[in-house]
Amino acid sequence: MKKVLSIEQMKHLGDLGIDTSNASMTWMLYPYEEDKQPKLSLREWNTFKEPFRIQHCIPAFTLLDVLELLPKEIKTGTNNYWLVMSHDSEKWYICYSEFDYYKEFRSHSLIDAAYDMLCWCIENGYVKIGKEEQ
């Protein structure tokens, strides 16, 4: 089971303008001694302080981190759509729905479907980024 977003997904969110500094987890190379072959490991983000974070860590959002960034409701004109997650016989899906679907993403992994929805929400202005957040 995939527990966090990949390094590539996190970099893409950063490129889209999401502040990743409040991630719950971090990817890091460990051990970081010069004479040892480092391996990628996953650790809790809050256990590391600056400047170590900058040098050795890449933030990693958990599913909960991604869900907290998603709007719980989207308003379009006179319609309101609510965030819904479910699983059919094969895949997870996450969508904004009223009586019909406004937007939907499906994946074998709920975190990947939520990531796709977050990217779509950012690209369509439903998630405020950078200076818009303030």
Q: pLDDT per residue over 63-102, tens digit each?
A: 999 999 999 999 888 889 999 999 988 899 999 998 777 8
DSSP state at residue 31: -
Number of folded domains that form the chain: 2
In-domain check, residue 79: yes
Q: Whole domain around residue 11: which residue ranges?
A: 7-61
Give the separation between CA 34 and CA 75, rounded to whole angstroms: 53
pLDDT at residue 3 tops 60: yes
Asked whether the beta carbons of 60 and 4 are under 8 A apart, the reply is yes
Q: Which of 127, 68, 69, 73 lies closest to 102 in space, CA to CA? A: 73
Asked whether the beta carbons of 92 and 86 are under 8 A apart, the reply is yes
More confident residue, 77 or 14: 14
In-domain check, residue 103: yes
Q: Which amino acid is at 115?
A: Y
In-domain check, residue 1: no
pLDDT at residue 53 tops 70: no
The domain boundary, picked from 61, 79, 99, lies at 61
107 & 119 share domain: yes
8-36 mean pLDDT = 84
Instruction: With cut-offs at 50, 70 and 90, classify the pLDDT of residue 50.
Output: low
Asked whether the beta carbons of 2 and 61 are under 8 A apart, the reply is no
| 27-47 pLDDT tens trace | 876 665 667 666 777 777 666
Cα distances (angstroms) measured from residue 109 to each of 26, 52, 91, 93, 105 = 20, 31, 7, 9, 11
